[in-house]
Amino acid sequence: MSERKKTEKPAEPKFTITLNERQLRLLQKVCESWARMCMGQTWDMAEDLAWLHYEYKPDDPEFDKRILRRDACKEMLELAMRAASGGNLEHFRKTEDVQVALDMYSVIRNFFWHQLPDDKRESWTVDADPVYIWGPEPKITVKKEGE
């Protein structure tokens, strides 16, 4: 019986993306929002959509309208998710892509927490926790240029 040679898996290519802080924060938000939508969690998306282009002013009648819009948006998103899933929100689960998106979100969130001055960091926040990787991909790295 001949011994089979173990074939080594070729190394996967790595990529470098250069982003400014706004772009990195947007990437963080996109990863979180997309992952949450894929899991049927519509509240954050409804919140973001309802408050677009709005700057709070005390006693502004628009504020109450935005609250109603947010709630209506959440209901509509839930209806859309039910339609997409055939009526069963249990259909939405953490797929590997969702896990990878949440991993990326967590790494970026943790990076920004570490960028805060010590007196601005709150130790109880989840941002302070070491990042646990759920998905099948290696943890992404985020470094600030010059560090």
Helix axes 61-85, 43-50, angle to 10 degrees: 140
Look up the pTM and report it: 0.75
The SS3 assignment for 110 reads: helix
Give the model confidence (pLDDT) of 36-95 as tens digits: 888 888 888 898 888 888 888 888 989 999 999 999 999 999 898 888 888 776 666 778
The 10 Å Cβ neighbour count of residue 46 is 19
| Dist. CA 32–CA 34, nearest whole Å | 6
| Average pLDDT of the residues of the chain | 87
Residue 4: per-residue pLDDT: 60
How close are the terminal C-alpha atoms of the chain, in Å?
A: 55
Mean pLDDT confidence for 113-135: 87
The 10 Å Cβ neighbour count of residue 2 is 4
| Dist. CA 12–CA 24, nearest whole Å | 23
Residue 2: per-residue pLDDT: 53
